[in-house]
Structure 1
Amino acid sequence: MSHKQILVVFGSLMLGLLLASLDNTIVSTAIRTIIGDIGGQNGLARMPWVTTAYVLASTAATPIYGKLSDLFGRKPLYMTAIVLFLTGSALSGLSQNLNELIAFRALQGLGAGGILGLTFAIVGDVVPPRERGKYQGLFGGVFMLAMVAGPLLGGIFTEHNSIIGITGWRWVFYVNLPIGIIALFVISAVLHLPKRRVKATIDYIGATLVVAGVVCLLLAAQMGGQQYAWGSPVIIGLAIVGVVVLVGFVLWEIRTPEPILPMRLFRGDVFRVSSIMGFLIGMVMMGAMMYIPFYFQVVNGDSPTKAGLRMLPMMVGLLTTSISSGRLISRTGRYRFFPIAGIAVTTIGLGLMTTMDENTTFFTGALFMFIVGLGLGATMQVLILAVQNAVEMKDMGVATTSSTFFRSLGQTFGAAVMGAILTNQLTSHLKTNAGPSPAMAPVREHGMAILQSEGAMSKLPQPVQHVLIHSFTQALSTVFLFGAALSLIAWFASWFLKEHKLRSMAPSGAAKQGSPDVEAPALAH
């Protein structure tokens, strides 16, 4: 394919990727308003599930889309995923309570799993690894746009009580509808991909086992220390059931002829190491991205829009290294250096962010976020590139979706585990910092509810506000410290990532040579 043709195809993929990426970031600045409106008494404790439901459904759906795309082709599955996503978006906007929102966010996630997984599978189909780096910055640009535009749009919508007679925050979900319609039109018109005639069966048992196991572990992480003590029979039981079910999943995948996650992929060093790194980086990304806007809203009293703008330094850093690393990889054919250096920089940045409190200046916070962005930008896309280059052509789709699966799985656990850490630490610090003083009764009795409400904080005396904010920054520091520890583990793992020569032919090249099983990609004229 020519450079111009590839850009047209990538343009349609970028619209789809923007759709899925925007939804996570646009919710980040709106979540406090949403929780205050429909969250109820325990809204803050359940806040991570608004994100977790989305990412969990996306995680479970991703490898299934990989199998279905082998049966019916990538394009129809890609468009189906967008339709599911738009349906979930419309219903999320109609939610009347947090339970409904969480359920509809899960439906959104089912669509997002196809969009995120198939996007990179399609890229692997049409562009050889050696040339892929030149286009990698384009996807970094999409993430950059989503991360900047998302919080800004989320802030703009939530700052208006009503827009055209509809509650402002509901437009956080409705805005997806016109973007999605445009994406569907463009993809239908210009995207023509290889039609694979592969006989395969869907591993429904494997999908059920992995979802059940992950949900049990997530529930244990989410409810531990909150609804139930960590040593309670409920939490221990959930953890044991989760582990047993996941072991059963592995045993089933070894025996079934068409596994949802082929265990033979783990024989390859690159896939094995990249999966571990992707899982850990997914956890780190979720912790860093989900709570930074919340920090600015609580500590500085920023509006959602302003909190979104303060994320700009991280996005600039991410885009800078995403583009530059992609070009250097295409020029040199070497990729191993970038995740090693990127994760090291991310670890340093998160370590610095543990020092952020109510006295941190804007410049200092911006510098720390910029450093984290630099590290993530050099790491995110390179891992998928390494996996696609290391596997055989016939495994391109399943390897790509499996790699995306582990990163999504990390994001799912990251949202639940870091949410549990924040809640547990915040509860402890509120109790300790408030002390027995009668003046601090609001902190002891309603501290969590006050922090999740935008208007309640400003009505309290200054000493009470100080205790609330200080307790929050102490708890958030622990979250960042945990993220830095995960990032450090990922850095140690990165040294085991082997480097293979980047291929110069895309899988679709076989079609051009007359392969009977694959039709060459084409563009509508």
Structure 2
Amino acid sequence: MTGTVRAAQPDTGGRAVVTILTGLMLGMFLGALDTMIMASALRTVADQLQGLTLQAWVSTAYLVTLTISAPLYGKLSDIYGRKRLYIIAIVLFLAGSVLCGLSQSIYQLAGARAVQGLGAGGLTSLALAVVADIAPPDKRARYQANLGAVFAVASVAGPVLGGLFAGSPEILGIAGWRWIFFINVPIGLVAGLLVVLLLKVSAKGARQRVDYGGAITLAITVLPLLVVAENGRHWGWGAPLSIALYALGGVGLVAFLLVERRVGDSALLPAKLFRNLSFTLVNMVNFLGGLGVFAGLALFPLYLQIVKGLSPVAAGLLLLPQSLATTLGARNSSPLMNRFGYKTVLAGGMTLMTLVYLLLGWVGVATPVFVLGVLVTVLGYGMGVFFQVILIAIQDSVPASDIGLASGLYSFTRQIGGVAGTAVFVSLLFGVADDRVGDSFRAASEQDPLSTALRDPQVLAVPANAKLVGEIQATGTVGLDDTSFLAQVDGRLAQPILEGLASSLNLVFIVVGAFLALSVILALSVKGKAGSEEETPC
């Protein structure tokens, strides 16, 4: 550890440490909350900004910049000091929050979320580093456990708060959903002031290599592929622009691998670790688990709010059992690992997630809400097991000398999976939905309720119905950038759209389940340091 604590504040002793810890916890809470709070609010936000089919950008922009910036903050803070980097992180996060609240389009919101993510990447990584700097060795584990509890609180509070804000038309004259971001400002200012005024940690200032090249080339790899994932269904997957972006992503990948090889142990993804088969397998499980976790956060609230017609508040409350089950799953993991070994427990958690996604492939418009509540609760328990056990698996897959380096990739690999899963699966959802909704209208026979509604003068006398029918007649399908019209139109006109979206979600859920089934096989293939469960460090 390169940071040292100055001999300041002898009069306050542990009280200053606790106050600083409070500021760090508030900062971490904001970063974690903004990952979760959009789950139940994003449908409303995207509808109001006329960009539901583009909503994946709002999540992926945040995750990409958070994931790439997090490991850089740690290295830079060793050189320039924790406090200076924390100020930069909190300023970026709050600036991004204000820009999010002021956004007038889905693209502006995605760009502002990217700024937010640049700040959020430092809020977590710097908090862990500061605790290691200032906490006495006998209290360090307890303080770090308190920081870890922040994520559990955020996972519970996020969906509910997002639903409450999104479900409020206005608060103090401002659209309710904008307060999702504006509320960060006073909390963030308090967090920043506590840390800036009280933290007296300095860095040794020793120069060391920072993998800027890895961060840049990773962005060049990921971003073009995300653009294709989002727009390929409109351009055509074999269109010249799509091919050009495939090529750019490929060039970025080659450049990234070359850069990582050149910088050695300073790399974002050190090659020496990935020459270890067990470590590689565990990180593949971590990647696939992240894919499943973030796909669920993006897709399930859409199902609840669009197909089932729940309000953002109701959807947030229905996600509350999932969050509580996640916390319970994490708490129960340790005794389960002591009894069965981490490999069996990890595979069990991934199996639960797999089964839930496969069952979600069969839910429909008429599926009772309580069934969905049971499924999402089981999913949350499996996620909690995954979150807790995968870190043990990562640490156990490497020699003791590499545990610190390997642990640094714990969040990184999972979030990369989350970025890929959110972009690809949301794009797949709306690509399939466009076709299935159009097919439903084209396949309607003369006697179908839909055809009857399309010819009914009383139906057409309602402006919302007339607008929808005009769009259907002109294009043969329905635009899904704003789905708020579904609550206003005749049920016979809405039914094919709901069924098309539901069947599209079914397909995507099954695809996610297939990827998670692969993670179960990989988890069972993992071996510990000596290939035995007895050495599991539980």
TM-score range, shorter chain: 0.7 to 0.9
TM-score between the two structures when normalised by the length of structure 2 = 0.82
2:67 corresponds to: 59
> Structure 1 residue aligned with 2:316, among 308, 312, 317?
308
Q: 1:361 aligns with which of 363, 368, 384?
A: 368
Deviates more, 1:445-454 or 1:417-426: 445-454
| Kept after mapping to 2: 8 A contact 1:134/1:327 | no
Q: Secondary structure at the match of 1:452?
A: coil
- The 5 A counterparts of 1:405-444 are 405-435=412-442, 437=444, 439=453, 441=469, 442=471
Residue 186 of structure 2 is aligned with which of 140, 162, 178? 178
User: What is the identity, as a one-letter code, of the residue corresponding to 2:32?
Assistant: S
SS at match of 1:495: helix
How far apart in 1 are the matches of 2:238 and 2:189? 49
CA distance in 1, matches of 2:260, 2:314: 48
Amino acid at match of 2:241: V
Deviation at 1:137, TM superposition (A): 7.4
- Bigger drift between 92-101 and 67-76 goes to 67-76
The CA distance in 1 between the partners of 2:130 and 2:107, in whole Å, is 35
Aligned counterpart in structure 2 of residue 153 of structure 1, from 157, 161, 168: 161
List alignment gaps of at least 5 residues for structure 1: 505-525
Go from structure 1 to structure 2 and tell me whether the alpha carbon gap of 1:70 and 1:140 turns closer, same or farther (over 3 Å shift): closer
Distance of aligned partners of 1:66 and 1:274 in 2 relative to their CA distance in 1, 3 Å threshold: farther
Evaluate the alpha carbon distance shift between residue 397 and residue 67 of structure 1 in structure 2; reply closer, same or farther with a 3 A threshold. farther
Aligned counterpart, 1:452: 482
Pair member with larger Rg: 2
Aligned CA distance change for structure 1 residues 208 and 470 (closer, same or farther; 3 Å): same
Do the aligned partners of 1:144 and 1:315 also contact (CA within 8 Å) in 2?
A: yes
Q: CA deviation at 1:459?
A: 2.3
For 2:330 and 2:84, the matched residues in 1 are separated by 30
| Structure 1 residue 371, shift from structure 2 partner | 1.2
Given the superposition, is the C-alpha separation of residues 324 and 140 from structure 1 closer, same or farther in structure 2, using an over 3 Å criterion?
farther
Amino acid at match of 1:340: A
Deviation (angstroms), 1:338: 2.7
SS state of the match for residue 180, structure 1? helix
Give the distance between the partners of 1:274 and 1:191, measured in 2 at CA: 37
Which structure 2 residues correspond to residues 376-415 of structure 1 after superposition, within 5 A? Answer: 376-388=383-395, 398-415=405-422
1:214 equivalent to 2:244? Answer no
2:502 matches 1:473: yes
Q: Do 1:133 and 1:326's aligned partners in 2 also have CA atoms closer than 8 Å?
A: no
Change (3 A) 1:443 1:119: farther
Q: Which amino acid aligns with 2:508?
A: V
Alpha carbons of structure 1 residues 384 and 12: separation in structure 2 relative to 1, 3 Å? farther
Q: Is the 8 A contact 1:44 1:448 kept in 2?
A: no
Equivalent residue, structure 1, for 2:448: none
Aligned partners of 1:388 and 1:400 also within 8 Å: yes
Q: Is residue 20 of structure 1 aligned with residue 27 of structure 2? A: no
Q: CA deviation at 1:448?
A: 4.8
Q: Work out the CA distance in 2 between the residues paired with 1:490 and 1:184.
A: 40
In the other structure, the counterpart of 1:31 is 42
Equivalent residue for 1:371, pick from 360, 375, 378 = 378
1:64 CA displacement: 1.7
Query: Which residue number corresponds to residue 511 of structure 2?
Result: 482
CA-CA distance at 1:447 after TM superposition: 5.8
Once the two structures are superposed, residues 324-373 of structure 1 have per-residue CA deviations (whole angstroms, 9 ceiling, x without a partner) of 214665x6795333322111111111111112211111221111111111
Give the distance between the partners of 1:171 and 1:29, measured in 2 at CA: 14
Rounded to whole Å, the distance in 2 between the matches of 1:6 and 1:72 is 21
1:26 touches 1:153 (CA, 8 Å); kept in 2? yes
How many equivalent pairs are there? 497
Match of 1:507 in 2: none
Cα drift, residue 57 of structure 1: 1.2
Distance in 1, Cα, partners of 2:26 & 2:100: 21
Amino acid at match of 2:489: L
In 1, Cα distance between the equivalents of 2:314 and 2:149?
A: 21
Q: 1:495 to 1:189 in 2, by over 3 A?
A: farther
* Alpha-carbon offset, residue 54 of structure 1: 0.9
> Contact 2:41 / 2:163 at 8 angstroms: preserved in 1?
yes
Match of residue 528 from structure 2 = 499
Q: Counterpart of 1:301 in 2: which secondary structure?
A: coil
Q: 1:124 to 1:485 in 2, by over 3 A?
A: farther
User: Residues of 2 paired with 1:229 and 1:210: CA distance?
Assistant: 25
TM-score (structure 1 length as normaliser): 0.84
Q: Counterparts of 2:402 and 2:19 in 1: how far apart (Å)?
A: 26
Alignment of 1:12-411 (within 5 A): 13-39=24-50, 43-74=51-82, 76-119=84-127, 141-188=149-196, 195=203, 198-225=206-233, 227-256=234-263, 258-326=266-334, 335-388=342-395, 398-411=405-418
Contact 2:441–2:477 (8 Å) recurs in 1 = no
Q: 1:7 to 1:356 in 2, by over 3 A?
A: farther
Quote the offset at 1:210 in angstroms: 1.0
Instruction: From the superposition, tell whether residues 417 and 450 of structure 1 become closer, same or farther in structure 2 (CA, over 3 Å).
Output: closer
Q: Once structures 1 and 2 are overlaid, which stretch shifts more, 463-472 or 445-454?
A: 445-454
Cα 1:12–1:353 change in 2 (3 A) is farther
Q: Is contact 2:329–2:381 with CA below 8 Å preserved after alignment?
A: yes
> Residues 389 and 80 from structure 1, CA distance in 2 versus in 1: closer, same or farther, beyond 3 angstroms?
farther
Aligned-residue Cα RMSD (Å) equals 3.5
More relative contact order in 1 or in 2 (CA 8 Å, sep 6+)?
Answer: 1
Q: Map 1:4-19; keep pairs closer than 5 Å.
A: 13-19=24-30
Instruction: Return the alpha-carbon distance in structure 2 between the equivalents of residues 242 and 465 of structure 1.
Output: 40
For residue 420 of structure 1, report the CA deviation from its aligned partner. 1.1
Structure 1 pair 279–136 and aligned structure 2 pair: CA distance change class (3 A): farther
Amino acid at match of 1:453: T
- CA–CA distance in 2 between the matches of 1:186 and 1:85? 16
